[in-house]
Structure 1
Amino acid sequence: MLWCVGSGGRMTLAKLLLPFLMLQPFSEASNQPPSFNNYFFKTYLLIYENTAIGSSVTQLRADDPEGEPLIYGVVGEEAMRYFAVDRETGVVWLKLTLDRESVSQMQVEFSVSDSQGVVKDTVNILIGDVNDNAPSFHGLPYTVHIPENTAVGTSVFMVNATDPDQGTGGSVLFYFQPPSPFFAIDGARGIVTVNRTLDYETTSAYQLTINATDQDRWRPLSRLTNLAILITDIQDMNPVFTNLPYSTNIAEDKPPGYEVRKIRAIDQDLGRPRGIGYTIISGNTNSMFALDYISGSLTVNGQLDRENPLYSAGFTITVRGTELNDDRTPSDAMVMTTFTILLIDRNDNAPTFNSSEYRVRITELAQVGFALPLFIQAEDKDEGVNSMFQVVLTGNNSDHFTISPTAVQGRADIRVRVAVPLDYEKLRRYSFSLYANESMSDHVGFARIFIDLINENDNRPIFSQPVYNISLPENTPTGTPLIRILATDGDIGTFGTVHYFFNEEPDQFSLDSRTGWVGLRAGLDYELMRRFTVTVLARDGGGEETTGRLRINVLDVNDNAPLFQKEAYLGMLRENEQGPQYVARVRATDEDSPPNNHLTYTITSASAFPEYFDILMQEGYAGKGPLWKGHRPLFCCKVLLSKPPSPLILKCFSNCRFVLFVPSQDENDNPPTFSLPSYIVKISENIIAGATVLFVNATDLDASREFGQASLIYSLEGSSQFRLNSRSGEITTTAMLDRELKAEYILIVRAVDGGVGPQQKTGIATVNITILDINDNAPGWSDEPYHANVVEMSPMDTDVLSVLALDPDDGDNGVVEYRISPPNPFYTISNSTGKIRTTGVTLDRESADPRNALLMRTIVISASDRGTPPLRASVSTTVFVNLLDLNDNDPTFVNLPFVAEVLEGLPLGSSVFKVQVEDPDEDNNGLVTMALQVGMPRLDFHLNTSTGVLTSTAPLDREQIAQYYLRIVAHDAGSEGGALLDVNDETPTFFPRRYNVSLQEDVPRDHAVARLNCSDNDAGLNAELSYFITGRTCVSYERRTLALPPNG
């Protein structure tokens, strides 16, 4: 090739074929310039900005009329920085990176030349856009302050971001990464609005990440920036107390000014907290405490005394904390708290009695154990060991009474009881000192007790002798004092004054009721009555009586002529007499004494049993054989009387005949006999004192008044609760009865006749008295307190426990019925046995309902008897139920979903987040462990299995991984499903039951003989087996070598 340059500066390229070349001269005037024929010279050339350096962007094409060789080029320094042109081919390649956002178009001048000259032409080059720019934020950094009461929906900020790319690559959308529950952003406009109510006290600042992303379809680009939203505090929170609770205990002897507690509250509006003013609202009885308005110091303001009833239960104080405005005036923001201050006891009180002097009058008949009607209360107002004291009764004869209790803590009612039988006649008045002595100090309480005995008629009159005997002639003048009857009574006063009476007033005798002198009221006649036996009564001022016997023997005076005085003489015959006995004397006008009364008698005839009778000539009529009651009581005899003459007798009768009636004389040969050998009676225990129980009656077959029915005296043995009227046989009560103390009495009643000494006869009967019950006792609880263990979720009719109330009454009055009161939906009780069972309503130990939680754990039982009307126990009993936990609750994550924002570049091991999980079960059932789920593609974190703290284990790089999604699994340590408490109710069983083993005789010692297979269907310890060889055996055995392997 040859280059040819003309005078015009044009270059022309020509080919030279040397072998055939012929030189011909050019003519400048005839050579035409070349011209570009590319279309873009007339329009534009589009080159995309991402075209790589060195890439061919186009090829210049030109035509030369002469067909000369052409040379291509680019013109201009600036154009040559971007483009290079192959001189021969016209290929244009890129030398410098294009950036549409810097230069969106350019005009480049290209040249083409031939031998004659150069032709230039300009190309408009448009830089084609590609999405090579991420959006850019303007006005960084983004920080905005908004008040916490900003309304939801309010615009608080506008994000400004642009993207220089064109089209969708330059269209920007905004969103929060991650989303914020409290704020929203308009994706197109970038306007940030409040999405949820804000609270400065909960979160005072929000760090939001804004993602601005262009909308390129194929390769969207994004950029992140942070928006700090700072919440400014407003006064919308009440203050809150710190270091609660304020309840405390202080000694009662703390002086005024002593600081009890420091009350402190803070303003929860943390942005600009205000001061607090403190005030006591209630509970400050008698202003015993002072509270400093500013400092909150609570101090003692008076003299405390735990024993003061106003302070003994402590103080329940309510304190108000009020936020103060800038001018120290109180605002509307306030908080109140209530707490207790209990006073600790000091031993500053001596025991005291409720009175300094006690007086009482009691009957001398008060039984041993009788409690005196005194209200004695001893009290030490101190507490605990400070209130322990001993009660002592001192004074003369203090052993006649006992006190209880003798050891007291706090307060007690002191009972004074009779210790020995009392006797008004020995000691009428008691005077004692009652001391209450503290064991820990020298404090002493003192009181006086005066006891006056009431005189009771507790002594019967007693005769000086059981039988008074006197003999007097029948001619004793009337009005003559005969004998003095004397009885004494151990009582004093009116009850000891004795008066005397005849049981039946005789015509012949008189009795001075005051002196006891017996006088002759009427003349006696020996022939009519030779002996008088009268019953004398000695009656004291209280009506108690004692009987005595007075026997008056009439002595005969021989002052009568021997004349028959009667046509019929009454003679006396003793029964059952074996030998001869005198029956009667037949006398004349008087029964003269021998020898003037010596008569001769002859029986001429007898109406019956003549062989039994004979007569002495001078002694009268006598029987010669025994006579008993079965014989006829009267005998008619004819007697011929003859008598020697007497100086006093002017005339004698002889051969006189008359009829003699001879009744048999009564001997005391029959004992009293009760109508029944045993009396059975039933009385109610509420019978009043003095009421009649029954009448006992005895009969005596003896006919005389002396030994027969009229002579009977009754007496009673067996109980002081009853009294027997000695004459009428009436048994009455002396006091109120109590069946629960004694349900049956066996009494011995005696009836004695008028015999004396060995001749006295006695009849005996028993009285069985059964006390019928009334409903006078309420049931009382036994074995308190009651505690039971129940597994939660227990099925219906699960046994809880049995309660027991006892009623000492009888029959239905003592039958106790139980009920749950108030009703409890979880439990039922047998009204007869007291057994408590579950109803089947779910027992959930973790129940959040406080009422159900209380009902599941406390069962209030009342008891009443079946009496009419029924009586209830004075106090209900409470069964405290301990609900045993089952693993019936799964662990629960708190505050899901878990979202954590972490700055990249944190040091390894940094805490990222704390996972909170709850399990309301107890012990192992509620012990939760956590773990990251196995099999996750990448574990850049470590989770503490117990605390739930998540820490980083690898460098965090947002550009590599912007978000992690972790799955956490929580397990409790309890067993699966419900747990049943095992009862050892299964017996171990061998399989097989019989083992047959054959051994060679030379097997070595410790050779294994057999393997035992035994199982037990119980669980836990109840299923652990131990083996023993029983009976005589030559097999040695070591217990520890035998066990049941897991595989059976």
Structure 2
Amino acid sequence: MTKGSTVGNLAKDLGWNVRELARQNVHVVSVAKMQYFGVSVENGNLYVNDRLDREQLCDIAPLCFLNFQVVVENPLNIFHITVAIQDINDNAPQFLSDIINLETSELTLPGTRFLLGKAEDPDIGANSLQSYQLSPNQYFTLEVRQRKDGNKYAELVLHKPLDRESEQMIHLVLTALDGGDPQKSGTAQIWINVTDANDNPPIFTQDLYKVSVHENSPLGSQLLQVLASDKDEGTNAQVRYEFSNIPANSQKTFSLDPIHGIISVMGPLDFEETKEYTMTVAAKDGGGLVTHCNIEIIVLDENDNAPEVTLASVFSPVPENALSGTVIALINVNDKDTGDNGKVTCYLKDDLPFQILSTSNNYYKLLTEGSLDRERSPEYNITIMATDKGTPSLSKHKTISLQISDVNDNAPAFEKISYRLYVPENNPSGASIFNIKAFDPDMGQNAKITYSILSSNIQELPISSYISINSETGTIYAQRSFDYEQFREFQLQVKAQDGGSPPLSSNATLRVFILDRNDNTPQILSPSQEAKGSTSFEMVPRSAEEDYLVTKVVAVDADSGHNAWLSYHLVQATEPALFTIGSHTGEIRTARAFAERDAVKQRLVVVVKDNGQPPLSATVTLNLVFAENFQEALPEMKNQSRDSEVQSDLQFYLVLALALISFLFLLSVILAIMMKLRRSGNPKFLQCFAPVPHATAGPVFPPNFEDGTLPYSYQFCLSSESQRNEFTFLAPNVQIADSLLCGEKCEVPFTGNSENHVNSQVENVDKVSYLE
């Protein structure tokens, strides 16, 4: 049949849906090297795919079958197909030799047989060799005989004595006919040489010799020895052996010793190609007489073929959630040997979650066994071992690379369930404070993690005003600057969700602790800081002894820990040796008893420091008055009050003094020059701006003295007498212990009873003291 010819319709025979054939991937699987048939996915026809030669495929077998499988995927199914190859008469009978030379003695008796050999016709049945015909002659007739294997051969039978003198060479034509339609034939020319008398032909010891040989026998191995004897003498008794009518496949395989009749192996034997050899050996004596015997050589199988493993179908990749028993591959295993040598066992080489099961006709299924996990093993190299039962056994392996596809079966996992995060206060807004990370062993979109904040324990404002998170990287940012004194910790839940379908997620708790920084100065609670310009006083009895508790400085710090540890230090005092302060308690105590030489008024400056790095501090000034009662301390408090006002304006006057000094220096230079120029004039020119009427009347102050300010140049106009005056001002129940113009307890008699005059003098002295 020509290539493409339709053999049958499988779709019709098997009830297939023609429209589904392409999707089901219907295809032919065969272990043969040639694919003689194919299946059309368009109509389901089984067609001839390559030229068929029955003689090549099946040799002389009376029945010729081709076996193959048709595999249908989605769902998987296998159909075993057997096609019988029918013979046609495409071969004519053919003799191994076109010329047959025979030699016989004229004394050959009638009835003597001459083997003519056989013609070969590779066809079978009626198309094979059926008969032989001999051309008409007077000496010989033709007799057709049949061997055990069914092959027919011809023998020439002498029915009339020969006469060499009348006819030395006889020519005959032998025709071989088959039974085909039309009939085909083949011919061979027979030449018979009639020799002189030799009346005893050689005789073999056996008409049939049988021998078995292993297919792996080495070249040169001796198989058997044929032996023929001749009763004649001389050259007529000398026997030589030769192959007669030997098949073509035997000529290169076996050799025959013409003298001794030993048959040896000359070429390789292969049981899988030829299982049995039949041939004829002729024994010819020196007189030309020939005798034949038949030889049968049986080849024994050896385990010389390893099993062949063929992959019919492979399904890769396989999802990791595939059920146990899912088909992975369809495998065909074939061994050309026979018997136990051809029996094959299939198994998996390694301990893997797969199993292999036999189906039919040497087909096996590779199935999953148990669950798969891509995260543990994304790929499997499955080695299938096929071992026969020969001795020694032979094996072959086939490796299948199987990919496992991912399924979203793993939720993102954090390194910890709970995290603790410490953030110093006063952090910059928008700064990254932490990076939280979750891991997903899946791949692709199933491993793409998105981060979000689920909830928090902050009730006042949404968590987004405090904390934000980068949804891709998990970086956490502070949205504001934290204040430890406002709140010290808060808690939130972070969610990590993958991109699978459906998505999987997990949560982690994040506790944020705000760390304190030294950003608050100590606050002094006692003594209280009063309004600007006012002065506070503490009265200490003059009779106070050593370690007398004068007062206690109390301070607090809004920070915590080391930053809130306070220490007290006395940095300035009128009499440093008179007082001590507890560095941790803030208690101010007398270091010794009050002495008469000590000033009544004492000014202490206390610094309160915290333990931060760098430390912050606050100061407080304490004014102490040594007095036994309030009336005694009142005048000192009044003077101190005015000093406090001066202290509050000290900064302003410092700036003013710089400008005034510059101005007065320039004015002094100008006045000095003018005094040089007018030395001959009035010497009173520079004196006090006005004459002094009475020396005892005291200095004359400029008009603006009422506001407490004296020009620098005017101070030079004060007479030495007025500068030597000492004043004592008396007030009811008030003693002035320290005067800015007099020493301690200096008294100057004063004449006059006018109270207004006394008050006026006190006021003037106070103003002069203020200027100094």
Structure with a larger share of its residues in helix: 2
Q: Same fold (TM over 0.5)?
A: no
Under TM normalisation by the shorter chain, which class is it?
0.3 to 0.5
